[in-house]
C-alpha cells in the first residue's frame, strides 16, 4: 500500500471515529439527561407517596386520639356524678363515708378558697393511704397551684358555672391524674387510679392496627372499638401507646420493632394525656409504592424504547454516512482508473497528430487548408484533455493543494472565442444559440489554459443541464485589474439554497437516471479552485431572466511595458503561481 493510500485510509478511519463518537454522544447525552430527570421524578414520587401514607397513618392515629378523648369524657361524667354525691360540709367522716361509693376514685382532696387542705384533715387522724395521698400531692396543694387554677374565675366573678379540669403529676416514677371541680368556693379533686385508666384504654384498644373505615358506625372517627384480631403472618405494622416517660403502655400489631427503629408517624394525645403519644411503625413493604413503581416501569420502559429508537437512528445515519464514503471512494477510484486508462490512447492520439502536423507545410496552414485547421483543433483539444486528466488525477489522489497556474500574457476574449469554437459543433448539434458580448480585449497576465478549462466547463454544463433553453450567453468585461466572464443559460436554473452545493465534488441538483447527464462531478470544484488561484472567485449569481448565471471574476495584472533596450523575451515572461 502506497503512502498516499495509507494517508487516505487513516483519514477515513479518523472521520469514521469522529462520526461514531458524535453519534454515540447523540444517543448517550439525551438518555443520560432523561434518566437523571426520571430518577429524580421517581424519587420525588416515592417521597410523595411515603408522605401520603404517613399522613394516612396520622389520620388513623387521630381517630385513636379522638376515641381516647371519648374514654376520658366518660371518666369525667362518672367523676362529676361522684363529686356531686360528696357532702357539702367539710366533715372528714362524712367525706370518708361518701368515698366508699365512688367507683372511679381512689382518694379525694378538698381545698377551701384559701388553698387550705380540708380533707384529708392535716390535724386529725389519717389512714396510711391518706398520708401517702397527701405526700404525693403535696406539690399541688402546698404551692397553691390547684387553688390558683380552680378558683381564679370563681373569686373574680368571671366564671359561668363550676370550673373543672384535669391535672397530672409525677410521683414515685409514675404519672398520676387528678380530676377537679369547684363547689361553693372550694375545690374538690378526685384522683383517678392509673390502673383503672390504663385498664379502660387497653380494653378499648385494638389487637391489630385499625383499618380505615368511613362507613357509619366505623372505627375511624366515631370512637374506638375493638378490631377483630386477625391471624395475618404478613402483618408489617405496629402501633405503640407510650406514656410521658416514653415507656410503652400498650402496643398492638404483629411487627417486631427494632431497638433503634424510628417510627413512621408520631402523634401526641390531647389533654389530659398530652404527654402521651401514639407511635406507628411500618416496614417499607407497608408503604404502597405502586404509583412510584408503575411510574418507574413506564419511565424506564420509555427510556429503553427511546434508547432503541436513538440507537437505530444513529445506526442508520452511520450506515448512510459510511455508504456515502464508500461511494465517494469508489467514484474517486473509478475516476482515477479511467483517467489512467485514458492517458495511453491520448498519448497515441497526440503523437500521431504531431506527425500529421509535421507533414503539413506552413503554407498549407496559412492558405486555410481545412485539414490543417482540423488538425490544429485536435492538437489543442488533446492538450486540454491532457491537462484535464492531470487535474482529475490530482483531485482523485487527494493532492488538490498541488494545483497551480502559470501566468503569461493573454487576451481573455481570444481564449473565450477559441474555447467557444471548440464547442461549436456540439452546441450546434444541440440547437443552442450563442450570444456573445466580448469586451475583454486588453492583454493581461493570466493562465490561458486554466481560463479555457473554466470556460469550457461552464459551456459543457450548459450543454448538459440547460439544453432545453436552447440559448447560451457569454459576456466578458474588464475593470482595472479584474476580468469578469459571465456564462448564462435559459435552463431550469439553480435554487438559491443549492448555489454553493453545486461546487461540491460529486454533487448534482438532480440524480435521476432519466437526466441522462454524464461526467465526473468534479468539474465545477476544479474550476472554482483555478479561479481562486487567480485571486478570484466563481459563483452563481442572479440573472435577468430564467436559467442560471455563472460569474467568473479573476485578478488579471496588466502587461508590463518593457523598457527600451530590453530583450524581446522580457515582455512575455512566465509567472508561476502555486496555491498557498
pLDDT band at 193 (very low <50, low <70, confident <90, very high): confident
More confident residue, 426 or 376: 426
Which residues touch 491 (CB under 8 Å, ≥6 apart)? 462, 465, 466, 467, 468, 469, 546, 547, 548
DSSP code for 439: -
Question: ∠427-519-428 over CA atoms, to 5°?
Answer: 5
Domain ranges of the chain: 105-192, 321-402, 403-578
- 402-417 pLDDT, tens digit each: 678 889 999 999 999 9
Give the pLDDT confidence score for residue 571 in this predicted structure: 39
Give the residue among 163, 206, 213 at the shortest CA–CA distance from 184.
163
Q: What's the CATH number for 403-578?
A: 3.30.565.10
Containing 405, the helix (H) or strand (E) segment is: strand 404-410
Please, how many CA atoms are within 13 Å of residue 543, restricted to the half-sphere of its CB?
A: 23
Distance, CA of 371 to CA of 350 (rounded, Å): 16
Strand partners, 192: 105, 177
Rounded to an integer, what distance in angstroms lies between the CA atom of residue 481 and that of residue 461?
28
pLDDT of residue 17: 74
Give CA–CA dist 96/90, Å, rounded. Answer: 10
Mean local confidence (pLDDT), 329-354: 72
> Are 291 and 49 contacting, i.e. CB atoms less than 8 angstroms apart?
yes
- Find all residues with CB under 8 Å of 276, minimum gap 6, and list them: 241, 242, 243, 244, 249, 268, 269
Q: What is the 3-state secondary structure (H, E, C) of 89-139?
A: CCCHHHHHHHHCCCCCEEEEEEECCCCCEEECCCCCCCCHHHHHHHHHHHH
Q: What's the average model confidence in pLDDT over 522-550? A: 90
For the cut 80, the answer to whether the pLDDT of residue 557 exceeds it is yes
Please report where in the chains the cell 369524657 appears, as a residue: 73
Give the dihedral of Cα atoms 120, 125, 127, 132; nearest 10 deg.
50
Architecture of domain 105-192 in this structure: 2-Layer Sandwich (3.30)
Query: Cell for 539?
Result: 459563483
pLDDT in tens, 417-466: 999 988 888 888 889 999 999 999 999 999 998 999 899 889 988 988 88
Average pLDDT of every residue of the chain: 75
Do domains 321-402 and 403-578 share one topology? The answer is: no
Most confident of 85-94, 202-211, 330-339, 376-385: 85-94
| Across 320-325, average pLDDT | 72
Fold of 321-402: Helix Hairpins (1.10.287)
Sign of CA dihedral 429, 435, 441, 443: negative
Amino acid at each position: 500500500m502506497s503512502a498516499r493510500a495509507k494517508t487516505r485510509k487513516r483519514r477515513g478511519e479518523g472521520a469514521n471515529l469522529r462520526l461514531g463518537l458524535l453519534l454515540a454522544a447523540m444517543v448517550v447525552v439525551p438518555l443520560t439527561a432523561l434518566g437523571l430527570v426520571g430518577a429524580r421524578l421517581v424519587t420525588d414520587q416515592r417521597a410523595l407517596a411515603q408522605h401520603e401514607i404517613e399522613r394516612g397513618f396520622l389520620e388513623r392515629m387521630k381517630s385513636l386520639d379522638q376515641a381516647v378523648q371519648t374514654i376520658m369524657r366518660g371518666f369525667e361524667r362518672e367523676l362529676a356524678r361522684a363529686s356531686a354525691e360528696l357532702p357539702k360540709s367539710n366533715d372528714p367522716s362524712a367525706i370518708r363515708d361518701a368515698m366508699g361509693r365512688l367507683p372511679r376514685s381512689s382518694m379525694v382532696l378538698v381545698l377551701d378558697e384559701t388553698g387550705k387542705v380540708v380533707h384529708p384533715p392535716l390535724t386529725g387522724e389519717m389512714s396510711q393511704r391518706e398520708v401517702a395521698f397527701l405526700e404525693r400531692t403535696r406539690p399541688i396543694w402546698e404551692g397553691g397551684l390547684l387553688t390558683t387554677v380552680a378558683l381564679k374565675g370563681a373569686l373574680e366573678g368571671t366564671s359561668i358555672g363550676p370550673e373543672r379540669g384535669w391535672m397530672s403529676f409525677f410521683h414515685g416514677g409514675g404519672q398520676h391524674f387528678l380530676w377537679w371541680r369547684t363547689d361553693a368556693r372550694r375545690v374538690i379533686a378526685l384522683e383517678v387510679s392509673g390502673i383503672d385508666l390504663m385498664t379502660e384504654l387497653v380494653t378499648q384498644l385494638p389487637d391489630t392496627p385499625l383499618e380505615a373505615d368511613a362507613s357509619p358506625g366505623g372505627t375511624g372517627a366515631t370512637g374506638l372499638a375493638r378490631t377483630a384480631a386477625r391471624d395475618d403472618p404478613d402483618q408489617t405494622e405496629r402501633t405503640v401507646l407510650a406514656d410521658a416517660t416514653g415507656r410503652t403502655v400498650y402496643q398492638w400489631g404483629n411487627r417486631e420493632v427494632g431497638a433503634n427503629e424510628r417510627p413512621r408517624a408520631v402523634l401526641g394525645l390531647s389533654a389530659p394525656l398530652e404527654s402521651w403519644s401514639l407511635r406507628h411503625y411500618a416496614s417499607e413493604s407497608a408503604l404502597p409504592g405502586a404509583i412510584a413503581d408503575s411510574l418507574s416501569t413506564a419511565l424506564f420502559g420509555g427510556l429503553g424504547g427511546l434508547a432503541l429508537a436513538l440507537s437505530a437512528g444513529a445506526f442508520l445515519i452511520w450506515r448512510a454516512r459510511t455508504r456515502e464514503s464508500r461511494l465517494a471512494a469508489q467514484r474517486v477510484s473509478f475516476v482515477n482508473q479511467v483517467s489512467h486508462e485514458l492517458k495511453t490512447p491520448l498519448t497515441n492520439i497526440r503523437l500521431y497528430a504531431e506527425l500529421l502536423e509535421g507533414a503539413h507545410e506552413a503554407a498549407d496552414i496559412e492558405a486555410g487548408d481545412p485539414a490543417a485547421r482540423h488538425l490544429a483543433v485536435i492538437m489543442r483539444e488533446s492538450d486540454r484533455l491532457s491537462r484535464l486528466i492531470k487535474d482529475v488525477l490530482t483531485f482523485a489522489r487527494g493532492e488538490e493543494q498541488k494545483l497551480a497556474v502559470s501566468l503569461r500574457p493573454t487576451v481573455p476574449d481570444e481564449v473565450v472565442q477559441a474555447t467557444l469554437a471548440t464547442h461549436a459543433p456540439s452546441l450546434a448539434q444541440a440547437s443552442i444559440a450563442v450570444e456573445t458580448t466580448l469586451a475583454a480585449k486588453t492583454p493581461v497576465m493570466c493562465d490561458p489554459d486554466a481560463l479555457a478549462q473554466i470556460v469550457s466547463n461552464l459551456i459543457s454544463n450548459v450543454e448538459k443541464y440547460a439544453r432545453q433553453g436552447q440559448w447560451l450567453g457569454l459576456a466578458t468585461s474588464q475593470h482595472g485589474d479584474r476580468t469578469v466572464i459571465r456564462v448564462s443559460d435559459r435552463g431550469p436554473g439553480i435554487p438559491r439554497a443549492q448555489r454553493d452545493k453545486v461546487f461540491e465534488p460529486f454533487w448534482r441538483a438532480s440524480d435521476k437516471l432519466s437526466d441522462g447527464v454524464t461526467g465526473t462531478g468534479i468539474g465545477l470544484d476544479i474550476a472554482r479552485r483555478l479561479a481562486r488561484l487567480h485571486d478570484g472567485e466563481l459563483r452563481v449569481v442572479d440573472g435577468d431572466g430564467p436559467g442560471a448565471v455563472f460569474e467568473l471574476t479573476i485578478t488579471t495584472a496588466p502587461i508590463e511595458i518593457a523598457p527600451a533596450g530590453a530583450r524581446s523575451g522580457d515582455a512575455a515572461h512566465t509567472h508561476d503561481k502555486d496555491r498557498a
